[in-house]
Amino acid sequence: MATKQTRGVILIRNGRVYDHDGNVDMPPIADLLIVDGVVAAVRPGIAQAVERREMIPELGARAIDQTIDATEKLVMPGFVNAHYHSHDVLLKGCFETIPLELWVLSALPPSYPKRSTAEIRARTLLGALECLRSGMTTVQDLCTIYPFDEEHLEAVLQAYEDIGIRCVFALQFADQVGSSAIPFWEEVVPAAQRASLSGAVEPFKGVDLPRLLRDIVVSHRDRHPRLTLALGPTSPERCTAGILTKLAELSEAEKVPVYTHIYESRAMTLIARQAHKSDDGSLINYLKRVGLLTPRTSMAHSVWMKPDEIEAIAEGGANVVLNPVGNLKTRCGVAPIRTYIRRGVNTALGCDNCSCSDSQNMFQTMKLYAGLAAITHPEPGPPTAADAIRAATVSGARTAGLEGRVGALRPGMAADLFILDLTDPSFVPLNSVARQVVFTEGGRGVETVIVDGRVVVADRKITTIDERALREEVADLMKALRKDIEAVMQRNDAMLPYLLEAQRRTWEVDLGVNRYVGNADD
């Protein structure tokens, strides 16, 4: 395939090109010209001018290397998966809907023996492949590498480089042990089993953490044009004020985003009330105190946020990244979507872990984002379908520090896009592109994906890696991983009565906010 990894000049002709500010129901038909990875022009008539050998100002003396016919197709800005983790890609489909804290113990790296470099590479490629196939051109990977290993970090970054997706990489870290941040765990779990309790990541042993984080940013930032770096404190309650203050300085000095989890579950909210009394039980106050409530910070989930905290987020210009699919699967409740919108908080969307959502599918996420606002607001109103598409593109770009570079198809912006088949039943008849993208399409129609001007998916096939070889390698790696999953599940089964007791006690405490709807009838 000649176009596999070359950039050059690509002409996408005769497609409906989606413009957030244009006619989102029936985007007009136009040609889109890409020159060296950048959108050079979007207008009708470019293809005809080329056929007539007329001068195209944006092209100069260059020739077109590839023409893609987009007749009866939609050209969309690529989605930005603004919250994702590559570390549990191989565990998709392993769990029913279980509470977040049980899932963390079942799925995340600290519960497992150290993985092989081959497994790290395979899972990174597979996760990125799923993202690309469903129209995501940027992924924000808040990745746990535990225990930390330079070789594993290198494997992750190389995998992203090889497959050709745009990646914002943040190493997930904490400097407090996980069990200390879950209410009642240390009280109810017998001493003999307490060593098995862990969080999404545990403190790295023998590592100068501020230095490591700075080194990663500095040494990899010029690695390749599709990679940018970010900082990943797993959640404020797992990090000391000392490390967060240093992080705020590093984020400011290096102009890098900060990604964290906040108030995902009821337990994560209760620990704030219990352990952060000097901040009025608020992690938002804590982040503000350490200098992290800024436009560079993105807070994943933000489910159990109080109205005054939402005000403070809006004032600080910080972002939230909602993950409605994962929140439902881990029984965390529903984020106050309409309040974030009303307060003008930049609201992006993520698909979170592969074993808690369990799909990297922005179509599902947009549909839930648009629909779940109905739980609190029965009257019609935002978010509209077009709002959901903005959240999945331009708002995500802002959280990635890529505002104005990705998220829309305008001259001068990166050529990150996908082409959707409008002859698929999802779009027949074509009544509204925005509404059918959000409410009807499930991802079936994604045919072509271009990242940074490279065709990485053509005719629904990845062009950059050998997908069959990857599948075979994963099958091989699963032989060892399945045994480890089995052992973790047996260990957790033995702790289950205690974990559920901690959960019950958590549910009994009044938090001053409720993100569930109604009460069970039995």
In the complex with Zn ion, the residue whose CB is nearer, 326 or 445, is: 326
In the complex with Zn ion, the residue whose CB is nearer, 300 or 449, is: 300
Residue 88 Cβ vs Zn ion, minimum distance, rounded to whole Å: 10
Residue 24 Cβ vs Zn ion, minimum distance, rounded to whole Å: 30
CA dist 283 and 233 (Å) reads: 13
In the complex with Zn ion, the residue whose CB is nearer, 66 or 364, is: 364
Residue 85 Cβ vs Zn ion, minimum distance, rounded to whole Å: 6
In the complex with Zn ion, the residue whose CB is nearer, 59 or 168, is: 168
Q: Scanning the structure block, which residue is given the tokens 């003999």?
A: 192
Residue 265 Cβ vs Zn ion, minimum distance, rounded to whole Å: 11
Residue 227 Cβ vs Zn ion, minimum distance, rounded to whole Å: 20
Helix/strand/coil (H/E/C) assignment for every residue in 4-28:
CCCCCEEEEEEEEECCCCCCCCCCC
CA dist 405 and 412 (Å) reads: 8
Nearest in space to 14 (alpha carbons), one of 46, 55, 58, 51 = 46
Phi, psi (degrees; rounded to nearest 5) at 70: -110, 25
CA dist 455 and 354 (Å) reads: 25
Query: Cβ contacts of residue 304 below 8 Å, gap of 6+?
Result: 263, 264, 265, 266, 268, 269, 333, 511, 513, 515
Residue 22 Cβ vs Zn ion, minimum distance, rounded to whole Å: 34
| 216 in Cβ contact with 201 (< 8 Å) | no
In the complex with Zn ion, the residue whose CB is nearer, 86 or 176, is: 86
CA dist 313 and 184 (Å) reads: 29
In the complex with Zn ion, the residue whose CB is nearer, 86 or 393, is: 86
CA dist 369 and 350 (Å) reads: 10
Residue 352 Cβ vs Zn ion, minimum distance, rounded to whole Å: 5
* Contacting positions for Zn ion (CB under 5 A): 352
In the complex with Zn ion, the residue whose CB is nearer, 30 or 108, is: 108
In the complex with Zn ion, the residue whose CB is nearer, 88 or 279, is: 88
Residue 506 Cβ vs Zn ion, minimum distance, rounded to whole Å: 19
CA dist 317 and 294 (Å) reads: 6
In the complex with Zn ion, the residue whose CB is nearer, 297 or 436, is: 297
| 45 in Cβ contact with 58 (< 8 Å) | no
Residue nearest to Zn ion (CB): 352
Residue 4 Cβ vs Zn ion, minimum distance, rounded to whole Å: 33
Helix then strand count (H, E) for the chain reads: 18, 18
3-state helix vs strand vs coil in the chain, percent to 5: 40, 20, 40
Cα distances (Å, whole numbers) of residue 80 to 20, 247, 255: 15, 24, 20
H-type helices in 223-306, by residue range? 241-254, 266-275, 283-289
In the complex with Zn ion, the residue whose CB is nearer, 35 or 90, is: 90
CA dist 501 and 499 (Å) reads: 5
Residue 481 Cβ vs Zn ion, minimum distance, rounded to whole Å: 21
Query: Cβ contacts of residue 115 below 8 Å, gap of 6+?
Result: 109, 152, 481
CA dist 156 and 163 (Å) reads: 11
In the numeric block, which tokens belong to residue 119?
A: 């497994």
In the complex with Zn ion, the residue whose CB is nearer, 279 or 352, is: 352
Residue 202 Cβ vs Zn ion, minimum distance, rounded to whole Å: 16
